[in-house]
């Protein structure tokens, strides 16, 4: 039952804090949550040796629904165990960081309960043995993400971002549920192993239902992982507090990638190819936007969208090792970057504009060092983890023989490298653009950053040495020239960004003017607002006003009806009163006559 503890511990912690957390102090809430997530990580790590001798580990908990395969059961192999360890381990360090960062925050009972619930939901998506458990975990994670983004409800921008997340999540959830129902109708089981077997057995003979189901499941994955055209919620969600943003960009967005990996043999090939193409386009476009953005939070959010797009490319091409490696490496790396940027924001008066940053590297050495390692890992400079994942994805695209997809991946990698170095240079190396007092971050924040930075450096080496088995991929057999070309594609824009931005934004004015068109999501956000949001808002406004007018008329009509009925009943009441008085008088006369007659 060790496998069950991986999910049960964070889920139990979420429930316990929600019910009893009001009796605990702020620091205690954070410590309890961190310990719970560390225990979940430890339970998963204890199974590494077991999975060296067995292909899978299963945990049957109880029967659930009267459907084939619909049991409360979990399953894991060595590859998905690595994903589960990344989710729980990174989340534990984010919880540790939160203890110091949110020391004076309100509503920490709600925050830590939702944090644990998000992790439990994503672990259920990763380890659930059937589609119904995957959907259940999906919904838990979505609800928790909504609660976390809207944690500071008094902050208007955060509340609006939570609403946007809720709407896009519901689109994805509806598609996921519909796709699941279609698969159940077609294959009469929800067990993932049985679904894979039936899908492989029938292959080309299956009808249209699996195709439609595959498209619906892809839509759900796009919404959960912030891929075009359902990507708009993630940049806006950065209005939430820093630990929430880190959770979203490291844990929550992995849901769609995990779904594609786990249903690889169930989804039809054309839909998987579409996932790879959408991922490539999203990766390149989002990386360009990251180059043009000046808000540090949105730079990181668009970078996340780009990196997840590369994971979609790998998953769509069937390069599951590359997808897993990049998912784990990105979770560690992006946690370093988002939390490091949060420490800088907190120390500089919550300043997010890169035009007002710079010159603080020497004041925040630990933060700058961790952020620098994270940047090298993100852009793919060896021996940091990012290089191995990027090389595996490039090799997978090249091996597939798709020149366009390979070009998109390389362009996305180059733009991401430029954006990452630009961000580091403007935050830490450029001359100060504004004089601000700098407060040192709390010790727990630095501890989290250092541990994550170490993971960003050591993960690739750990996989190569076999300490963390997640399989092998096309990068192992990639020609040397391709690896060299990939490194050159990463290195050239990195050097250009450093030379262009190390002296600040004024020195890079020409580059900034050239990339101005990329701000605001390449115009997609404005197009989305005009084509979707504004029409729906207008319809909602008309419905609201129309309903209000109808309600006024109904209330007015009821009032008039009640007034007239009152008048009628008033007349009846007056007539009835006179009749009652006459009957009383007649009764009194009769009784008086009866008593008089009886007295004789």
- pLDDT value, residue 172: 96
DSSP state of 515: T
Average pLDDT (9-19) is 96
* Mean of pLDDT values over 174-191: 93
Cα–Cα distance, 317 to 315 (Å, whole number) = 5
Cβ atoms of 13 and 36 closer than 8 Å: yes
Residue 50 has a CB neighbour count (10 Å cut-off) of: 14
Termini Cα distance of the chain? 101
Q: Is the pLDDT of residue 143 over 80?
A: yes
Q: At what angle do helices 78-101 and 108-127 cross, to 10 degrees?
A: 170
* Beta bridge partner(s), residue 72: 62
Residues 314, 323: Cα–Cα separation, whole Å? 5
- 475 pLDDT more than 70: no
Rounded to an integer, the average pLDDT of 26-52 is 94
Angstrom CA distances, 257 to 12, 117, 311, stand at 26, 20, 7
% of residues, the chain, pLDDT over 70: 82
Residue located via tokens 């008048």: 567
pLDDT given at position 205? 46
Strand partners, 76: 57
Region of poorest pLDDT, from 54-58, 362-366, 582-586: 582-586
Residue 597 has pLDDT above 70, yes or no: no
More confident residue, 377 or 445: 377
Residues 6+ apart with CB under 8 A from 325: 385, 388, 389, 392, 463, 470, 473
pLDDT at 567 over 70: no
Average pLDDT over residues 402-421: 94
Q: Domains in the chain: how many in total?
A: 1
In this structure, is the dihedral angle defined by the CA atoms of residues 563, 568, 574 and 580, taken in order, positive or negative?
negative
- Average pLDDT of the residues in 116-145: 97
**219 within domain boundaries:** no
- Who wins on pLDDT, 27 or 556? 27
Q: What does residue 351 show for φ and ψ, rounded to 5 degrees?
A: -85, 125
pLDDT per position as a tens digit, 447-459: 899 999 999 988 8
**pLDDT score for 274:** 96
Average pLDDT for residues 78-106, to the nearest whole number? 93
In degrees and rounded to multiples of 5, residue 424 shows phi and psi of -65, -45
Is residue 509 situated within a structural domain?
A: yes
d(CA 314, CA 191): 25
| Cα-based distances in Å from 305 to 63, 235, 281 | 38, 9, 11
Give Cα separations from 554 to 542, 563, 588 (angstroms): 18, 14, 49
* 234: enclosing H helix or E strand: helix 233-237
The confidence band for 570, taking pLDDT boundaries of 50, 70 and 90, is low
6 occurs within a structural domain: no
Token pair of 499 as six digits: 């030379």
More confident position, 561 or 300: 300
Instruction: Assess if residue 427 is contained within a domain.
Output: yes
CA distance linking residue 467 with residue 15, whole number of Å: 34
pLDDT score for 540:
57
Does 100 score more than 60 pLDDT? yes
Residue 600 has pLDDT above 60, yes or no: no
Tokens of 562: 């009640």
Angle between helices 385-399 and 443-464 (to 10 degrees): 40
pTM: 0.87
CA 349 to CA 286: how far, in whole Å? 28
Per-residue pLDDT at 471? 65
Tokens of 384: 């940091």
Two structure tokens written together for 391: 């090389």
Q: Is residue 113, in this structure, part of any structural domain at all? A: no
Asked if the model's pLDDT at residue 146 lies above 70, the reply is: yes
In-domain check, residue 252: no
Q: Is the confidence at residue 599, as pLDDT, over 70? A: no
Neighbours of 566 (CB within 10 A): 11
Alpha carbon 422 to its chain's center = 25
Reference 175, options 208, 138, 149; nearest CA is 138
Report which DSSP code applies to 105: -
Could you report the per-residue pLDDT of 256-309, keeping only the tens digit for each?
A: 999 999 999 899 999 999 999 999 999 999 999 999 898 999 999 999 999 999
Q: ∠ CA 132-138-144 to the nearest 5 degrees? A: 140
What are the distances in angstroms from CA 510 to CA 407, 431, 491, 507, 513? 26, 18, 21, 8, 5
pLDDT of residue 528: 60
Give the bridge partners for 353, in sequence order: 295
Mean pLDDT of 360-373: 86
CB atoms within 10 A of CB 535: 11
- pLDDT score of 572: 47
E strand spans, 1-155: 56-63, 71-77
Contact 234, 305 (CB under 8 A): yes
Q: What pLDDT is stored for residue 334 in this prediction? A: 96
In 3D space, the residue among 192, 157, 201 whose CA is nearest the CA of residue 76 turns out to be: 192
Q: Is the model's pLDDT at 359 over the cut of 90? A: no
The dihedral region occupied by 293, where left means phi > 0, alpha psi between -120 and 50, and beta the remainder, is beta
Task: Return contacts of 519-528, CB within 8 angstroms, 24+ apart.
Answer: 519/289, 519/292, 519/293, 519/294, 520/289, 521/232, 521/235, 521/289, 522/285, 522/288, 522/289, 524/228, 524/229, 524/232, 524/285, 525/232, 528/229, 528/232
- Indicate if the pLDDT at residue 19 is higher than 90: yes
State the average pLDDT for the chain.
Answer: 86
Structural domain containing residue 481: 270-519
Q: Which residues pair with 62 in a beta bridge?
A: 72
Q: Are 515 and 291 in contact (CB under 8 A)?
A: yes
Q: Are 371 and 337 in contact (CB under 8 A)?
A: yes
Predicted local distance difference test score (pLDDT) of residue 204: 44
Query: Which tokens in the block code for residue 374?
Result: 């994270």
Indicate if the pLDDT at residue 483 is higher than 60.
yes
- 496 lies in a domain? yes
> Is a pLDDT exceeding 90 seen at residue 358?
no
Residue 515 counted as domain residue: yes
Question: What is the rounded average pLDDT of the residues 469-489?
Answer: 75
């Amino acid at each position: 039952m060790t496998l069950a503890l991986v999910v049960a511990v964070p889920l139990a912690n979420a429930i316990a804090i929600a019910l009893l957390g009001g009796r605990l102090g702020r620091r205690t809430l954070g410590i309890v949550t961190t310990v719970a997530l560390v225990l979940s990580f430890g339970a998963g790590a204890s199974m590494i040796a077991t999975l060296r001798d067995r292909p899978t580990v299963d945990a049957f908990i109880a029967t659930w629904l009267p459907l084939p395969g619909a049991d409360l059961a979990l399953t894991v192999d060595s590859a998905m165990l690595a994903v589960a360890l990344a989710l729980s381990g990174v989340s534990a360090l984010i919880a540790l960081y939160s203890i110091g960062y949110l020391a004076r925050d309100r509503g920490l009972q709600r925050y830590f309960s939702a944090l644990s619930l998000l992790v439990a939901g994503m672990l259920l998506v990763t380890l659930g043995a059937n589609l119904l458990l995957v959907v259940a975990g999906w919904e838990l994670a979505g609800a928790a993400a909504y609660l976390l983004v809207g944690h500071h409800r008094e902050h208007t921008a955060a509340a609006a971002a939570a609403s946007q997340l809720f709407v896009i999540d519901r689109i994805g959830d509806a598609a996921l549920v519909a796709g699941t129902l279609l698969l159940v109708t077609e294959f009469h089981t929800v067990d993932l192993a049985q679904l894979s077997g039936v899908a492989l057995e029938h292959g080309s003979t299956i009808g249209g239902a699996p195709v439609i189901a595959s498209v619906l499941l892809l839509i759900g994955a796009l919404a959960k992982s912030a891929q075009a055209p359902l990507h708009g919620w993630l940049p806006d969600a950065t209005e939430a507090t820093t630990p929430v943003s880190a959770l979203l960009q490291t844990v929550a967005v992995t849901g769609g990638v995990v779904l594609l990996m786990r249903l690889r043999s169930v989804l039809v090939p054309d839909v998987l190819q579409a996932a790879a193409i959408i991922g490539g386009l999203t990766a390149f476009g989002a990386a360009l936007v990251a180059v043009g953005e000046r808000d540090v939070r949105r730079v990181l959010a668009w970078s996340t969208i780009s990196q997840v797009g590369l994971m979609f490319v790998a998953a769509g091409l069937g390069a599951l090792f590359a997808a897993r490696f990049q998912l784990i490496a990105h979770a560690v790396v992006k946690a370093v970057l988002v939390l490091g940027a949060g420490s800088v924001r907190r120390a500089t008066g919550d300043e997010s504009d890169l035009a007002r940053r710079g010159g603080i590297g020497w004041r925040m050495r630990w933060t700058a060092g961790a952020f620098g390692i994270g940047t090298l890992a993100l852009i793919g400079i060896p021996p940091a983890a990012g290089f191995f994942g990027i090389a595996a994805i490039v090799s997978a695209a090249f091996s597939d023989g798709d020149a366009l997809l390979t070009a998109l991946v390389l362009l996305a990698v180059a733009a991401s490298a430029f954006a990452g170095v630009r961000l580091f240079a403007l935050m830490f190396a450029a001359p100060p653009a504004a004089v601000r007092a700098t407060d040192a971050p709390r010790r727990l924040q630095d501890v989290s950053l250092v541990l994550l930075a170490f993971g960003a450096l050591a993960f690739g080496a750990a996989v190569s040495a076999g300490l963390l088995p997640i399989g092998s991929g096309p990068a192992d057999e990639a020609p040397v020239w391709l690896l060299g070309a990939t490194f050159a594609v990463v290195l050239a824009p990195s050097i250009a960004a450093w030379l262009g931005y190390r002296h600040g934004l004024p020195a890079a004015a020409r580059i900034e003017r050239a990339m101005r068109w990329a701000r605001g999501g390449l115009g997609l956000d404005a197009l989305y607002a005009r084509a979707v949001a504004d029409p729906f808002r207008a319809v909602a406004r008309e419905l609201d006003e129309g309903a209000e007018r109808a309600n006024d008329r109904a209330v007015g009509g009821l009032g008039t009806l009640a007034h007239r009925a009152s008048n009628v009943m008033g007349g009846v009441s007056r007539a009835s009163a006179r009749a009652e008085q006459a009957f009383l008088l007649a009764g009194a006369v009769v009784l008086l006559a009866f008593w008089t007659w009886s007295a004789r």
